[in-house]
Structure 1
Amino acid sequence: MWPVFITFVLICGYNYINSDIESKIELQKAQGWNAYFQVALKGGEFLVAGFVVAVFIDILLYSLMYILNIPTYLGAKYTPFTFATYLNELRYATASFFSWIVVVSTVLISIGQASIVKNRTENYQYRIDATRKNAKKDSVNELLLESLEGNLLVMVTLKSRKVYIGMVDAAKFYNFHTHSDAMVSIIPFISGYRDKDSLSFVIENNYAIIYDQKGITLNSEPLSVYQFRHILPIDQIESFSLFDADTYMSFREKQ
């Protein structure tokens, strides 16, 4: 019975988390047992709420029974009502009537709360605000957010010493359905590599020149800059930083 009970709590918790963008992103970040505890905690909240509702219903049943039995307390001759006691003595599949009320109440509360947050999540601005709020809890996502909000480029150095300079793909960053801390999507403007001895940046390709020559923009068709985006695995990134072309050129001139 306990495995079924634990599974039930986890399902209720996951149903809510899967409908709420903030909780969903937090779950994506969780590892190992932390993910189970997060789901179980939310399911436990619904279970407590279901228990409170069940107690309230039980109190109502006993209160109604005692009200209907008031005439017997005053001497009336009829068989007293005992439906509240009878119901609490009922058992189905080894579980009592009260336990089933807890289960039903928990399920209904879980479904109701999940429906509320799902409707709220359908609002695009809410999704953006939730993603921004969550990004501030992670150093990489916080830097990506700073790049987006400040219209700044980022410089990404991979473990292979390959370097990309470009802008963060906002659509991928804000799309919580595909959001993943394991990947970063950028639109490259410049690419190159780190010199194996000095580790200084050596430019190989200037995408910006090609974009300009071919008339490729954010909204151009059939090709736009988004068709050139690079998906970079986080575990292959050596370093991340914001990049300003003017500042970079100033340093180059001093060398």
Structure 2
Amino acid sequence: MLAFLLLPVLTCGFFICYYSLPHFYKLHRYEGQQLYLKSAWLGLQCLFFALLVVAFLNAYVPPSIFGIPLDIYSFVVKLTSAIAIKKSSAIELTWLFLIATTMHAIAYIRVWVTNWAMNQFQEKEGVDPKIKLMSDVLSDSPLDSELLYSYINDQSVLIALSNRKVYVGQVVSMGEPNESEGMDQEISILPHISGYRDKDNLTVNFTTQYESIDTDVEIKVTIRQELIESVSRFDFDVYQQFLERKKEFIDKPARVPFSKR
């Protein structure tokens, strides 16, 4: 009997993984057998609660209330008797049907309650619940955390790519996760300035200032994260101070210490 419940267990588990936002945002971390095991574990939880619910209803719910029939078990037995050869087979099919139906109902309620709670969090805190989920998922990577910080706080960051291209701008999109990739595999930025690193001394040379371009079209740049070598927060005032210090250092004559013999 339990072997026939394997399919409902997996379908309930996959349903929770794909439609419950907290699980969906972590779905890309599970590959192959890990995804099946995660789905099976969630489905087994639904099976456990379904068994409790079915046992409770069978033991305590009366056959009828105010003339309204509530004996679902007998009703399903009559239906399954038409397709079952033996009465024992009809009883087994009835229990399988009731348990499987209850499992799917529990999975649906669990997803609905989870997403409803996240919407309530958004109304109460005024924060998109997806940002909280992204923060939980990306908190274990310093690079991801910097990108998320720019996305949430409209903070400018300096992004250096493997082809020596450099962008300074704000992260405006971190994409949506899927089964195999996280939400930050591709990012979109609103660039302020861009340039390149010198091939010899790796100093940054800015060549393009996007804010000076007079256009009604919002300029965005999409970057694959695999091309990003480094990310750092960027402050224009601090950058100006670095330029002034650099100029002073270049203009100031170098002093070479020596000892008298």
Q: Tell whether the structures are fold-level matches, with TM greater than 0.5.
A: yes
- Give the aligned length: 218
Secondary structure, in 3 states, of the residue corresponding to 1:193?
A: strand
Letter in 2 for 1:166: G
Deviation of 1:233 (Å) = 0.9
Letter in 2 for 1:244: D
Deviation of 1:130 (Å) = 3.6
Letter in 2 for 1:206: Q
CA distance in 2, matches of 1:4, 1:165: 57
The alpha-carbon distance between structure 1 residues 247 and 60, as it changes in their structure 2 partners (threshold 3 A), is: same
CA distance in 2, matches of 1:136, 1:107: 28
- Contact 1:173–1:179 (CA<8 Å) still a contact in 2? no
Secondary structure, in 3 states, of the residue corresponding to 1:198?
A: coil
Deviation of 1:2 (Å) = 7.7
1:87-120: CA deviations, max 9, x gaps?
Answer: 9x6325x955333322121011112233334555
Residue among 154, 158, 165 paired with 1:155: 158
1:204-252: CA deviations, max 9, x gaps?
Answer: 2111221xxx1x5xxxxxx342xx2111111121112211111122222
Q: Which residue of 1 aligns with 2:233?
A: 242
Q: Which residue of 2 aligns with 1:8?
A: 8
The 5 A counterparts of 1:1-255 are 5-60=5-60, 90-92=88-90, 95-119=92-116, 125=122, 128-138=128-138, 139=141, 140-169=143-172, 172-173=173-174, 180-210=183-213, 214=214, 216=215, 223-225=216-218, 228-255=219-246
The alpha-carbon distance between structure 1 residues 16 and 136, as it changes in their structure 2 partners (threshold 3 A), is: closer
User: Structure 1 stretches of 5 or more lacking a match?
Assistant: 65-82, 217-222
Secondary structure, in 3 states, of the residue corresponding to 1:246?
A: helix
CA distance in 2, matches of 1:160, 1:3: 55
1:62-105: CA deviations, max 9, x gaps?
Answer: x98xxxxxxxxxxxxxxxxxx8xx99x6325x955333322121
Q: Which residue of 2 aligns with 1:220?
A: none
Deviation of 1:55 (Å) = 2.3
The alpha-carbon distance between structure 1 residues 120 and 134, as it changes in their structure 2 partners (threshold 3 A), is: same
Q: Which residue of 2 aligns with 1:70?
A: none
Letter in 2 for 1:229: K
- Contact 1:51–1:102 (CA<8 Å) still a contact in 2? yes
175-184 vs 128-137, which moves further: 175-184
- Contact 1:153–1:165 (CA<8 Å) still a contact in 2? yes
CA distance in 2, matches of 1:232, 1:112: 38
CA distance in 2, matches of 1:134, 1:34: 21
Q: Which residue of 1 aligns with 2:67?
A: none
Q: TM-score, normalising length from structure 1? A: 0.70
The root-mean-square deviation of aligned C-alpha atoms, in Å, is 3.4
- Contact 1:22–1:134 (CA<8 Å) still a contact in 2? no
CA distance in 1, matches of 2:45, 2:118: 21
46-55 vs 14-23, which moves further: 14-23
- Contact 2:28–2:177 (CA<8 Å) still a contact in 1? no
- Contact 1:167–1:188 (CA<8 Å) still a contact in 2? yes
Deviation of 1:125 (Å) = 2.9
1:11-59: CA deviations, max 9, x gaps?
Answer: 2122223322222111134334333333222222111111211222343
CA distance in 2, matches of 1:56, 1:156: 59
Q: Which residue of 1 aligns with 2:258?
A: none
Secondary structure, in 3 states, of the residue corresponding to 1:204?
A: strand
1:109-158: CA deviations, max 9, x gaps?
Answer: 11223333455566793671342343244224422232244432011111
Letter in 2 for 1:51: L
User: Structure 2 stretches of 5 or more lacking a match?
Assistant: 64-73, 79-86, 247-261
CA distance in 2, matches of 1:130, 1:44: 27
Q: Which residue of 1 aligns with 2:255?
A: none
The alpha-carbon distance between structure 1 residues 253 and 37, as it changes in their structure 2 partners (threshold 3 A), is: farther
